[in-house]
Structure 1
Amino acid sequence: MPPAATTFTLLTDPAEARARLAGLVEREPEALSVVASVTASLMADPSRFEGPRWWAGAAPSGEAVAAFMHTPPHPLHIALATCDEARDLAALLADRGDDLPGVGGEREPAEAFAAEWVVRTGATATVAMEQARYDLPTRPRLPFEVCGRFRLATEEDAALLDEWHQQFLEVVEGAGRAAPLLTQHLADGRVGLWEDAGRPVSMAYASVASGGVTRVSGVWTPPELRGHGYASAVVAALSSARMDAGEACMLYTDLANRTSNAIYSALGYRRVGDSIRITFER
């Protein structure tokens, strides 16, 4: 007898989504990191995305076993799902006439979703980005000396951080979308700066921890300041600070960027999974 099919529940309220997926976040905090942090940000600022949606996949027992999120204009995000669950949701959305710009998340279920979507809609699927997911099993180690020092950012740094965060987002996602403000991250002491000769030269921030796991992101050194190890230093220091606070660290990198992958591996980060982003065109 084939296994019972997963039941999908559509959620449109971030507070309801957070509550429904809380158990899954606790069990799989790394996989659910993006969903958890974005959902929390939408509870604080509902205007961040228009028409956000979540799907909780439940086993016959009612336990949540899969999680999907769509925050337009981004692709649908698969946080955790089997390939069969991904195909089933793709069929459900395609058959009811949904229009998605793409899909991303765990590689295998994202590829399964895309394959089903193409068959049912006639869309063309193109790989836009491949990423690696890293965790940090031990304290980070900086393998070389870097001039300067680490400090937490303050409100006085807000304008510079907004400028750098926008530059970071445009490199990662392309121009056309305003980067979210880091106001709450600043207030919570989760933004790190590396300074050299008294001036900031590199930044990184850490998401609010979910299930004990924080995601390091927004790693940015202006192009003219690169080549001095500043990004390595700020990531190592911020990761150490978050571990001192009792949190485990993770991050994502673009597999096409050999430099960033080498940096994080040298610090002690360990590649534990792959993600992919696929765009759809009709």
Structure 2
Amino acid sequence: MTWHFTEQAAVFRRAAAAPLAAAPARHTAVLTLVDGAELLGWWTGPDGRVTGTCAVSPPGVPVLGVMTGTAAYALARALPGAGAVTGVRGEADACEAFARALGRPWTTTRRMRLFRLGELTPPEPAPPGRARRATVAEIPFAVAWARQFARDVGEAADTDPTANITTRVAEGRLYFWEAHGVPRSMASVSPTLAGQARVSLVRTPPEERGRGFAGAVTSAVSRAALAAGAEQVLLFTDLANPTSNALYQRLGYRPLADHAALAIDAPA
């Protein structure tokens, strides 16, 4: 049983082809990072089969794919640069095993649940308005909403999302639900990768909540992803927000796995 590492995406894809193909949804975070990761890894079990994956990007924050606690524990001992690790993300049990193996204090900064769309069930009745793609002129407006979204979910709000939002708008992947000429809610969808697309950046300003806008725009981007050829549509929710978790399940999303983000103290 051992971990293997490479900086080459093609090498990783060949080595980890079987687990990535068998459970692409549960590997969604790793798959998203493959081409830009500084380091990729795969775990082989006693029978030689690959049963674990990881990607490191940005530096110091490994993202864990599907793996056992044993593999996660071993990863903390084998990962190049493990002494500089400041956090870890992935399925919750594996992240905690990884942190325990490092032997440094750690805190859970966010608990999430990965959902996969079953049968899409749009809200009935639909709220007033319509879904539409964001325009180039609305990029500054969408950037402001993205910053607030980061604050809402406890992410780093000082990171400039302008380039990210600009790409989403240019590719037609950022939507607003507009009512009476005013954007009321926002959502985005990723490009389709390995047959799957992921909904994100779902935000409704506090004064507009409780009126069905978030469900309507999420339904719209989910439908757009299916129309674009996605075989699976995924999204992450914050487990601290029971309202959004209930909403997505009403739309047809079903729980797949619990995830966590951990902050790990620097070595003493």
Q: Write out aligned runs for 1:71-150 (5 A).
A: 71-72=57-58, 75-93=61-79, 98-118=83-103, 123-150=104-131
Output the amino acid matched with 1:269.
Y
Output the amino acid matched with 2:29.
V
| CA–CA separation in structure 2 for the residues paired with 1:82 and 1:148 | 46
| CA–CA separation in structure 2 for the residues paired with 1:66 and 1:135 | 21
Output the amino acid matched with 1:275.
H
Determine the structure 1 residue equivalent to 2:134.
Answer: 153
Judged with a 3 Å threshold, the aligned counterparts in structure 2 of structure 1 residues 156 and 97 are, in CA distance, closer, same or farther, namely closer
Question: How many matched pairs?
Answer: 263
Give TM-score, length-normalised by structure 1: 0.83
Output the amino acid matched with 2:256.
V
Give TM-score, length-normalised by structure 2: 0.86
Kept after mapping to 1: 8 A contact 2:26/2:256: no
Say whether residues 1:217 and 2:200 are aligned partners: yes
> Could you say what secondary structure the match of 1:210 adopts?
coil
| CA–CA separation in structure 1 for the residues paired with 2:143 and 2:60 | 21
> Could you say what secondary structure the match of 1:203 adopts?
strand
Determine the structure 2 residue equivalent to 1:169.
Answer: 150
Q: Write out aligned runs for 1:9-20 (5 A).
A: 9-13=4-8, 17=12
Judged with a 3 Å threshold, the aligned counterparts in structure 2 of structure 1 residues 220 and 73 are, in CA distance, closer, same or farther, namely farther
Judged with a 3 Å threshold, the aligned counterparts in structure 2 of structure 1 residues 161 and 26 are, in CA distance, closer, same or farther, namely farther
Output the amino acid matched with 2:146.
H
Determine the structure 1 residue equivalent to 2:221.
Answer: 238
- Percent identity, aligned pairs only? 32
RMSD of equivalent CA atoms: 2.5
1:114-140 C-alpha deviation (Å, 9 max, x unpaired): 22122xxxx112222111111111123
> Could you say what secondary structure the match of 1:217 adopts?
strand
| CA–CA separation in structure 1 for the residues paired with 2:170 and 2:58 | 27
Determine the structure 1 residue equivalent to 2:32.
Answer: 37
Kept after mapping to 1: 8 A contact 2:203/2:214: yes
Output the amino acid matched with 2:167.
Q
1:14 CA drift (Å): 5.1
Judged with a 3 Å threshold, the aligned counterparts in structure 2 of structure 1 residues 26 and 190 are, in CA distance, closer, same or farther, namely farther
* Runs of 5+ unmatched residues, structure 1: 43-50
* Runs of 5+ unmatched residues, structure 2: none
Judged with a 3 Å threshold, the aligned counterparts in structure 2 of structure 1 residues 16 and 177 are, in CA distance, closer, same or farther, namely farther
Kept after mapping to 1: 8 A contact 2:45/2:51: yes
